[in-house]
Amino acid sequence: MTQLIIIISAINLILFKKNSKILFYIFILMIPYLGFIQVKISSFTVLAPLIHDLIFVIPIIIIFLSSIKIPALPTALKFSLIFFILILFLQFINPWGPSILVKLVGLKVWLFYFLLIPVGMMFVEKKEDLKKFCNIFAISSIIPFIIGIAQFTLSQIFSSLEVFTFFYGDFETARGLTQNFTYFQFGDIKIFRVTSTFSFIAQYNNFILISFIPIITSIMMSNTLNEKKFYKLVLLIAIIAALTSGTRANFIFFGVFFVTFYSLYKNLHIAQSILIFLCLILIAYFFYFISPFVEGISELVILNLNEYFFIDFVSTFTKNIFGNGLGSGTNAARYMGLFSTRPEFLHEGYYIKTIYELGALGLLSVLLLFINFNNEILKSKKNSEHLKESIFCILFYSYFIWVIIFSFKGASLLDNFPTNLLFLLFLGMVLKIGSKEYLDKYKINNL
């Protein structure tokens, strides 16, 4: 199986050298199924966790970055990225860090997918490229969403143990991927951990949340009424999938994402946006007293704020000012069994993970990157505001705000497949939409 994966990777590299966008679209269509394939071949090859990289990502990066002139990143973003890479290098040679294998895994998780930023910039040459990409992504999401909704529905009728054991064909596999068939009870409502066609709940849920960007873009860029109706139906399916995935934080995501999106789309003032958030909080407060479900979600938010988001932040910072080396807090290295003893670091927060691995300077480098992401996304949104494509920038910024907030709780959005690579790929597309090269094609001069 290992040899087969390497052969397929080589075939893709050769076969699609002159048709790189075809391989790109095949990858988009395959994203929802690579997790399931990974599970099924994990006993046959140690390369199973890297199947998406070896078969698709590496050939795509090599083909794109070797065949076309690589676009220049915005100056401020480029310098913050250089600073970030310097910190990674220092932690890689950190003499008191973990083993070299753990450091290599950490380096890959932190840095490798940044190469998809220029790929995203090179992929979008004209508005038709963005529209086609979003359409294909939206269509590719329908089957995994329907499967996920079906798993949730059938678990209500039978049991999650029966449903997922049947789906994966193995009790132990199903138990591991569903976190021991975990579910949450809110009054008469049961929310099960749903995996759909992915290898675990976080992968599936991350795919759902980031899919709102291309799906809504497809709606806004539709050329006909029937096309718009179709993608609205896909959006409805995506919303149902998000609400039935078993991730309780999705109910908070909708508030953050859609209020941010509406505020930017309507060019509301900050005060107006805050007022909308306050209205949502008041509505939630009202339902808190009459709905066990709203009560449960509200108490979860309070629990995370009081006992998780900032827990051990100060002590972690003071104990790890200089960091512990690449990979020391990376879940992928732990899952691969590369630690000789179980690491004491178990907090899932992205910022705390950053401090633990990279120290104070590492946290500073990540925050500088986020600040420059913020500035460049808003700049692209402003530069392209007379084009339909600007909707993609607005949606991506709305998602980015959620990433900033969620990173206090976990690292899955930036560390786990598929959002670890899609986030940076989408960022590259956003940078291209707001670039002078792109705007000159449509005689837009907002720079």
pLDDT in tens, 396-447: 999 999 999 989 888 888 888 999 999 999 999 999 999 988 998 876 665 5
pLDDT at position 347? 65
User: In angstroms, rounded to a whole number, what is the distance separating the alpha carbons of residues 329 and 266?
Assistant: 41
- Residue 26 is predicted with a pLDDT of 96
Where do the DSSP E strands lie in 124-181? none
pLDDT at 447: 58
For residue 201, give the amino acid letter.
I
Give every residue of the chain whose pLDDT is below 70, as ranges: 186-188, 285, 287-312, 333-347, 443-447
Sequence-distant (6+) residues with CB within 8 A of 393 are 377, 380, 381, 384, 430, 433, 434
Query: 């052969």: which residue's tokens?
Result: 7
The predicted structure's pLDDT at residue 39: 86
Q: What pLDDT does residue 198 have?
A: 92
For position 174, what pLDDT does the model report? 87
Residue whose C-alpha is closest to residue 370's, from 408, 321, 332, 333:
408
**β-bridge partners, 185:** 190
Counting Cβ atoms within 10 Å, is residue 333 exposed (0-12), middle (13-18) or buried (19+)? buried
The answer to whether 242 and 149 are in contact (CB under 8 A) is: no
| pLDDT for the residue 425 | 97
Would you state the pLDDT for residue 301? 67
CB neighbour class for 20 (10 Å; exposed up to 12, middle 13-18, buried from 19):
buried
Please name every residue paired with 190 in a beta bridge, in sequence order, or none if there are none: 185
pLDDT for 183: 77
Closest CA to 101 of 306, 446, 332: 332
